[in-house]
Amino acid sequence: MKRTTALLGSAVMVAATMLATLPAAANAAPLTHDQQLALVPPAVTAAGLRDDQLSVWYLDEGNTLHVGLTSYTTQQAEALVDRLGTDTVITQEDQPEAAIGHAPKSSAAAKQLLNPSAGARASATPASGTPSTGGVPGGLTVGPYEPFLTVPTYPGGVRIIRDAGDEIVWCSTTALWGGKMLFAGHCGPNGAKWQQGYYDNGTIASSGSAGTASSVHWEANNPDVALLSGGNGFDKGVYLNGDKGNVTYAHIAGAAVSAIGATICTDGTTTGYVCNAKVNMVNGCTNMTEEGKTVHECGIDSANNPNAIVTRPGDSGGPVLAPSTGGKFLVTGTISAESNGGHTVYYSNANRIKQILGTSVTVG
Q: CA 75 to CA 204: how far, in whole Å? A: 52
329-339/344-349 β-pairing: antiparallel
DSSP state of 350: H
Closest CA to 286 of 101, 71, 68, 72: 68
By the 8 A CB rule, do 197 and 168 touch? no
Q: How many CA atoms does the CB half-sphere of 254 hold within 13 Å?
A: 7
149-150/234-241 β-pairing: unpaired
Q: CA 150 to CA 119: how far, in whole Å? A: 8
Predicted TM-score (pTM) of this structure: 0.85
Helix (H) or strand (E) holding 182: strand 180-183
Q: CA 6 to CA 88: how far, in whole Å? A: 11
Q: CA 297 to CA 301: how far, in whole Å? A: 11
Q: CA 346 to CA 286: how far, in whole Å? A: 8
Q: CA 49 to CA 69: how far, in whole Å? A: 9
Q: CA 70 to CA 87: how far, in whole Å? A: 20
By the 8 A CB rule, do 156 and 363 touch? no
**276: Cβ contacts below 8 Å, ≥ 6 apart:** 135, 263, 265, 305, 307, 308
Give the chain's radius of gyration (CA, Å): 21
Q: CA 21 to CA 32: how far, in whole Å? A: 13
By the 8 A CB rule, do 209 and 231 touch? yes
User: Peptide bond preceding 153: is omega within 30 degrees of 0, i.e. cis?
Assistant: yes
* HEC letters along 122-159: ECCCCCECCECCCCCECCCCCCCCCCCEECCCEEECCE
By the 8 A CB rule, do 116 and 208 touch? yes
Q: CA 152 to CA 293: how far, in whole Å? A: 35
Tens digit of pLDDT at every position of the chain (364 positions): 444 333 333 233 322 333 333 444 456 788 999 999 999 999 999 999 999 999 999 999 999 999 999 999 999 999 999 999 999 999 999 999 999 998 887 666 666 554 444 443 333 322 223 232 233 333 333 333 345 678 788 999 999 999 988 889 999 999 999 999 999 999 989 999 999 988 877 778 888 999 999 999 998 899 999 999 999 999 999 999 876 567 788 999 999 999 999 999 999 998 989 999 999 999 999 999 987 889 999 999 999 999 999 999 999 999 999 999 998 999 999 999 999 999 999 999 999 999 999 999 999 8
Residue 324 pLDDT: 94
Residue 106 pLDDT: 63
Q: In this structure, how many other beta carbons lie within 10 angstroms of the beta carbon of residue 251?
A: 17
Chain centre distance of CA 108? 30
At residue 165, what are phi and psi to the nearest 5 degrees? 90, -85
Q: CA 281 to CA 295: how far, in whole Å? A: 18
* Single-letter residue type at 155: P
Q: Supply angle C-alpha 361, 289, 87, rounded to 5.
A: 85
Residue 111 pLDDT: 61
DSSP state of 102: E
